[in-house]
Structure 1
Amino acid sequence: MNFNNMFKRNIAMKIVSFSMALLIWFYATTEQKVEIRMKAVCEFQNLGESLSVYKTNSDTMDVLFKGKSRDFLIMNLLRRRPTFKINLSSLDKGVYKFTIDKESVRVEHSKNIYAVSVLFPKNIELEIDSVGKREIVVYPVITGRPSNGFTISGEVKVLPQKISVTGPKKMIDSLNMMKTEEISIDNCKKEIVKKTKLNFEGRPVLSEIKEVTVKIPIETVITKEFKDVPVIFVNKKSGISIEPDSVSVDIRISGPGKMLEELLAGEISPIIDISNIYKKGIYTVQITIPKQKYIEVLSINPQSIKLKAK
């Protein structure tokens, strides 16, 4: 028997037969009634313009639905989602509690799918507040590190720097800034200018501005040395004299190229704090340099000296 010839004969009839069998199987399968647990989304309606929903215990509910497999399949294909609506037209500021019954939960344009029971939560609790409005600063969220040998070389700029937000007054009054979505600078070797979205973090807050431009200056790191930089004595007690009364050190620092090229020795201020020297004696004191933005102190030579108080 030649199997190749057997499969080649009546190909059209075989395709039709297979298609019919597939359709019958699909129809039989999707005609079955099933129960499926899904999340229904709450829609608050008709709230006064001067009011806003401040917080809720939940804006979704787990609901058990029943219907034919076919209807659930169509629902998913058309991206229809279960919802329940709460009418807030008669409400003012305050705290309210609504019990949601299964009849109020439905899938639009899907009459054959219906709620069997509301599982969790059984109630929706919410607080309504008056609407507040104010300007707040945008804070850029930066993650990662530039490539080796590079660094952030100056102020990170955000345009616009401030945005106007509206929402529940209690929330608006406590909101000090609006963060952006994360901006990674991993392995970067040059300035970054990027549009990024604001991160509302799920707050019921609105703004006409949804994204900002963030500018992050990145430059090559260089090192620079200063010789014989005078040290400043601070917090000296009255009636105490110090020997030696003048000291100088060598300093080695690193930082952004342009900044260090323009930096003068007088702008680096090594200090010795002698606030703890209040009587005669020999003391070992540390030499420190106040921290400066974008600049790292690599070495101070010497790091400490002996002083004689008399």
Structure 2
Amino acid sequence: MKQNKLARIFENWVPKILSLLAAALLFYLYNVSKYDTRVLVIPLETIIPDALAPVNPLPGAVRITLKGESNVIYSIPESDISATVNLSSFSTPGTYRVPIAVEKKGIAMSANFLEYTIDPLDIEVQLDKKITKKVPVVPVFGSEIPENYEIINIQVQPAEVEIACPALLSDTILKLHTESITTSSQEGVYSYRAKLISPKSTVKIINNQNVMVLWEIKKIIVYKTFQDVPVTVQGLSDSLEINGDLATVTLKVSGLRYDIESLILESGSIKINLSDVIEPGVYSVAIETKLPPTIRVESILPSNITVRVIKKKVQ
């Protein structure tokens, strides 16, 4: 009797096993269908020994995919999951591949995930001896300075900052720039606390993350000298005339670059006024100028000229 029962149990055993497997698969798929997926981007903490520095940039974050019931996986704060790559066990320069460790706490510790995955699983990092040194700070002025203006008296406080970087990069890092600074289009003295910009993620700025930049905006004043400028006579009575040739003068002027470059000395720009002369004689007369208001006269040599006035000859 027992043999008959056993025979019936094992009769057609292959189809029975396949049926059980199919049932188990359906049960698994049914449960899996109830699960949802949530992707988290978690900051990657890197622990580096004090004597070494990474040469290649390290990822700042990793992707962690949670799979489980929606009400569970979406109740987990991102702060309950952390990712770390620990390089503290290395003491000599070299290239290493290190796994990324995931740590759960709080709700994430007690929650029942179906699974979680991390991308990437590990990272390759090249470590080199860490060098610290001081480099000068160069301010960057982003806005275009209007024509005829210039930035002068630039000061940076502090003028140098300390950085830490791998020895392989040390010789290439000669200075640090600030963020782009917007300037004014008006004359004046200005200041701005500017953020320092690291040229590479593997170059760390120690202590000072900002510097104070002071500068002055002034008009660009240029100078020009005109030689042998003829002098025009104005106001002389019709009954009088100049005896002989008038001396020429040397004129030095200043102004904005555009105004100076476009300046043309027309007739009457340099003159003497003889309207007060009513009779013949020898007179010392001051040189007068008639120039655009944007032009400043620095000097006229000679500043006075001597003229001999005679009665006009009747033709």
TM-score range, shorter chain: 0.5 to 0.7
How far apart, in 2, do the equivalents of 1:73 and 1:222 lie?
A: 67
Aligned-pair CA distance for 1:71: 5.7
Alignment-derived partner of residue 143 in structure 1: 142
Q: Deviations over 1:47-91 (max 9, x none)?
A: 432222332453432221235555666555xx6274322232321
* Paired residues for 1:79-228 under 5 Å: 80=79, 82-92=81-91, 93-100=93-100, 104-109=101-106, 110-111=108-109, 112=111, 116-119=116-119, 121-146=120-145, 148=146, 151-201=149-199, 202-222=201-221, 224-228=223-227
- Offset, 1:179: 1.0
Structure-1 residue corresponding to 2:61: 60
Aligned position for 2:51 = 50
**Could you tell me how far 1:155 is from its partner in structure 2?**
4.0
Distance 1:251 1:75, change over 3 A: farther
Distance 1:35 1:204 in 2: 37
CA distance in 2, matches of 1:40, 1:142: 36
Measured at CA, do residues 197 and 69 of structure 1 come closer, stay the same or move farther in structure 2, by a change above 3 Å?
Answer: farther
The 1-side partners of 2:215 and 2:43 are apart by: 40
TM-score by length of 1: 0.54
**Shift of residue 189, structure 1, vs aligned partner:** 4.1
Q: Distance in 1 between matches of 2:124 and 2:57?
A: 5
Instruction: Measure the CA separation in 1 of the matches of 2:180 and 2:73.
Output: 37
Which residue pairs with 2:39 in the alignment?
37
Name the CA shift for 1:249/1:125 in 2 (closer, same or farther; >3 Å).
farther
- Provide the identity percentage: 17
Q: Is the contact between residue 107 and residue 113 of structure 1 (CA under 8 Å) also seen in structure 2?
A: no
Amino acid at match of 1:37: V
Deviation at 1:98, TM superposition (A): 2.2
Q: Distance in 2 between matches of 1:118 and 1:166?
A: 31
C-alpha distance 73-192 of structure 1, shift in aligned 2 (>3 A): farther
Q: State the match for 2:9 in structure 1.
A: none
1:18-69 deviation line (CA, Å, top 9, x unaligned): xxxxxxxxxxxxxx85312222332223x43222233245343222123555
Shift of 1:173: 3.1
Question: Which blocks of at least 5 consecutive residues in structure 1 are unaligned?
Answer: 1-31, 230-247, 261-310
TM-score, scaled relative to structure 2: 0.53
Q: Are the counterparts in 1 of residues 139 and 156 from structure 2 also a CA contact under 8 Å?
A: yes
- Between Structure 1 and Structure 2, whose CA radius of gyration is higher? 2
Residues 73 and 95 of structure 1: CA distance in aligned 2, closer, same or farther (over 3 Å): same
Task: Output the aligned Cα RMSD.
Answer: 3.5
Contact 2:187 2:216 in 1 (8 A): no
**What amino acid is the match of 1:185?**
T
**What are the ranges of 5 or more consecutive residues in structure 2 without an aligned counterpart?**
1-33, 229-249, 261-315
AA partner of residue 43 (structure 1): E
